[in-house]
Amino acid sequence: MNYTLTHIGEPAYQQLKALAEHFEVSIPQVITLIIKGVI
């Protein structure tokens, strides 16, 4: 997880966290949705 955080940066992580809370899913699920182009 540390590598991912370092790689995408703190602001991006905070945005992912906000999205995860908004959609009531976990952060890895948000990343998966973004990769699939859902969000």
The C-alpha atoms of residue 32 and residue 26 are separated, in whole angstroms, by 10
- Residue 29's domain comprises 2-36
Per-residue pLDDT at 9:
74
The C-alpha atoms of residue 25 and residue 23 are separated, in whole angstroms, by 6
For residue 10, count CB atoms less than 10 angstroms from its CB and return exposed for 0-12, middle for 13-18, buried for 19 or more. Answer: exposed
Per-residue pLDDT at 5:
52
Per-residue pLDDT at 3:
56
9-38 pLDDT, tens digit each: 778 888 889 988 988 999 889 888 888 987
Q: Which one-letter DSSP state was computed for residue 24?
A: T
Instruction: State how many domains the chain has.
Output: 1
Q: Identify which has the larger pLDDT, 6 or 15.
A: 15
Confidence bin at 2 (pLDDT 50/70/90): low
The pTM assigned to this predicted structure is 0.55
User: Contact, 30 vs 16, CB < 8 A?
Assistant: yes
